[in-house]
Amino acid sequence: MPAAQSRDLRLDFFRGIALIFIFVDHIPENIFSYFTIQAVQFYDAAEVFIFISGYTAALVYGRTLALQGPSYATARIISRAWQLYVAHIFLFVIFVAEVSYTVRTFNNPMYNDEMRVGDFLEEPHLAIVKALLLEFQPTFLDILPLYIILLVIFPIVLLGLQLQPMLVLVPSFLLYVLVQILGISVPAYPEGHVWYFNPLAWQFLFIAGAALGLGRLRETRWARFERAVLPAAAIVLGVGFLVKLSWTIHGVWDPFPGLFLRELWPVSKNNLSLTRLIPFFAMLAIVAAIVSPDVAFLRSPLTKPLVLCGQQSLEIFCLGILLSALGHFVISEYSASFVTQFFVNLFGIMGMCLTAKMIDWYKTIGRAVLNTNQAEFISGDRDGR
Amino acid sequence: MTFWPFRGILGKAVLLLAGGFAEAVLGPLPLALGGPTECSVPDELMQIDEKLPHLAERLHANEPVKIVVIGGASTTGLAAGSSDLAYPHRLQEILARWYPSVPIAVANRGVPRQTAQQMLERFPTDVIPEDPVLVIWETGTTDAVRGVGVDEFASTLQTGIDDLKARGIDIMLVDMQFSHSTVTVIDFERYLNALHRVGDVNDVNVFPRFGMMRYWSEQNVFNFDGVAKDERADLAAKVYDCIAKKLAETIRIALW
């Protein structure tokens, strides 16, 4: 993705953090997941990732739409969705390899029913077709299908937002509310199962991000609004922090009371419950108010690796999913000691940061080569612009 | 009520850190001071907070006791070769020894590969007509394997618990089995968390089978992953026996 002159590094930075958190949270029973956002807030890195993805999608493709028109913008969005689809299938194949290998080499009748693993080995012909149709979503392979669907509908969303933001936001919100009230979900495979990230609910977060990213809402009355909203947001965030922290402590140490646990739990992630969404928006308002786009730390060498991760989000996301599966394997096969966990997390995060740096280097050189060669292209290849 | 996975891993980290430190200072520690008897587990896995008042009342009055165990394949005990070797039957034998003056029957209502929802649907035919004073509900495996929605899983458990409580029946939940091989391909964590939290908010004991089996596996009491073909049934019988012993101890503690 070509870097614009005034790229908002906050997006890259926070998306980078979200990607690291997704990696850490996806290793089951990882001690370090106590230090990610989900330990102290009702929402987690998934919300951050989807929101920022919507926001940047609007920024990038909004510019394409303005410069090259709707056909080309649509083609670009669909080609991105295709990239994600291929990445998803790639991850799926790796998952299948791991599962098949483990199941074939392990045969203890005590676990026979457990090792069927979602009927996959009973009807692989069906499972593969369902995976291609995004209906079969093994654990942790559930966020990319959501992202793909959101991108596929995005050309229409973008055109609508460009025309009149409320034209898109209102129906999107109504659909979200409908899901909350009626509990509508999207069926998946095997029969009786649903999309882990219900796209009918999560679309609202992505579209809200896109609406803000397009900037047509932002400037108008926000400044006046801000004064009124910020104190409320701070209260929501603070209360959310205390309540969720009490749950986390209660989970570790039983005598400590989980505040409002009986009243609030379970908090639906599948349907993006309001208990998650409201504190997320509160956090958003506060971060947007406190962290300005040109704050110095975003350009410091210390945060650079995170910013790079956020910029190469697709590759780093996929890598993170692979590394967390690998990390889980190491921890469960080798040792679950603190030291092992520490190094699994450390190497994983370093792997993600170094890969991001490498991809950035590769793309930068690629662009430079493209620029020097452009003279040769210009005469033959241009079609009238 | 313990919210098992977090407590387990953190406690273990501390132990391992301390152990590693001691080992560095003192040299290798003698393996498990005193030598663990088969089936022993650390105290944190035997922390029982909730009572079983209806069962206690029956035993106290010397009235017949009916316990129903509803669950999956590991409840049927087929891996051991016979339902007499399954943990429900072994539990009945142990309880009969402890409370000889009371007629105690434990009914095994295990059916392989059922989700919590499918088990709940069996309540009216398999559980309620038995008129049990205690229901032991072993569940979560198939839900995790098939990837049933975690919220849905939790609300199914809630419905079942509400139903049994309304009928004045005591309840215990039993979580999944552990082995290294299964946990590398199945994400049990979300379901374990949900199961333990449902127990927590409802004041229902959750028997931490997963944590116990993991402990045995780590202490090399049992090796679930690399066992020879002709020893598999024997291993299953031993494990079910340990599970029954621990369940019986849990019940005894929860009575008074």
pLDDT tens by residue, A333-351: 778 889 999 999 999 999 9
pTM of the model: 0.85
Q: Is-cis flag, bond preceding B36, omega within 30?
A: no
CA A285 to CA A274: how far, in whole Å? 16
Q: Provide, as residue numbers in chain B, all residues whose Cβ is less than 8 Å from the Cβ of A336.
A: 9, 12, 16
Return the residue of B nearest to A263 by Cα. B201
Whether A190 maps to a domain, the answer reads yes
pLDDT at A262: 84
Hey, are the CB atoms on B185 and A336 less than 8 Å from each other?
Answer: no
> Which residue in B243, B244, B238, B240 sits closest to B96, CA to CA?
B244
Alpha carbon distance A133, A240 (integer Å): 38
Chain B residues close to A185, C-beta within 8 Å: 149
* Nearest CB to A266; choose among B8, B154, B182: B154
- Delineate the domains of chain B, giving CATH numbers in brackets: 48-255 (3.40.50.1110)
Q: Is the domain of A35 the same as that of A62?
A: no
Rounded to whole angstroms, how far apart are CA atoms A112 and A121? Answer: 12
Q: Which residues of A280-293 are buried (b: 16+ CB within 10 A; e: fewer)?
A: bbbbbbbebeeeee
Q: Is A113 in Cβ contact with B224 (below 8 Å)?
A: no
Tokens of B200: 């927590």
Report CA Rg, chain B. 18
Record: contact B224-A111, CB cut-off 8 A:
yes
For residues A196 and A310, membership in a common domain is answered with no
User: Across the interface, which of A108, A116, A271 has its CB nearest the CB of B145?
Assistant: A116
A341 and A235 within one domain? yes
User: Which of A110, A265, A334 is the best substitution to test chain B (most B C-beta atoms within 10 A)?
Assistant: A110
Chain A residues with CB-CB distance to B72 below 8 A: 113
Domain that holds residue A72: 56-205
Q: Which two tokens stand for residue B31?
A: 């393996």
* A61 has pLDDT over 80: yes
CB contact under 8 A, B148 and A118: no
Q: Are residues A107 and A38 in the same domain?
A: no
Backbone dihedral region for residue B131 (phi beyond 0: left; psi -120 to 50: alpha; all else: beta): left
The verdict on residue A211 lying in a domain is no
pLDDT in tens, B42-67: 988 998 889 999 999 999 999 999 99
Check whether residue A290 and residue A162 sit in a common domain. Answer: no
The pLDDT, as a whole number, for residue A3 is 44
> Is A185 found in the same domain as A81?
yes
User: In sequence order, what are the residues at sequence separation of 6 or more whose Cβ sits closer than 8 angstroms to the Cβ of residue A345?
Assistant: A24, A27, A30, A32, A327
Query: Quick one: pLDDT band at residue B250, thresholds 50, 70, 90?
Result: very high
Q: Is residue A73 part of a domain?
A: yes
Cross-chain residue pair A102–B188, CB shorter than 8 Å: no
Does the pLDDT at position B95 exceed 80?
yes
From chain A, the residues in CB contact with B156 under 8 A are none
CB spacing of A110 vs B113 below 8 angstroms: no
Residue A92 has pLDDT above 80, yes or no: yes
Record: contact A138-B147, CB cut-off 8 A: yes
Closest chain B residue to A324 measured between Cα atoms? B184
- Do both A155 and A252 map to the same domain? no
A-chain CB neighbours of B113 within 8 Å are 113, 116
Q: Which of the four pLDDT bands, split at 50, 70 and 90, describes residue A219?
A: low
Q: Quote the number of domains for chain A.
A: 2
- How deeply is B71 buried, as exposed, middle or buried, from its count of CB atoms within 10 A (0-12, 13-18, 19+)? buried
Indicate whether A3 belongs to any domain. Answer: yes
B181 lies within 8 A of chain A by CB:
yes
Question: Scanning every residue of chain A, which has its alpha carbon at the shortest distance from the alpha carbon of B239?
Answer: A110
pLDDT tens digit sequence for A123-132: 888 888 888 9
Q: Which of B252, B251, B6, B3 is nearest to A255 (CA)?
A: B3
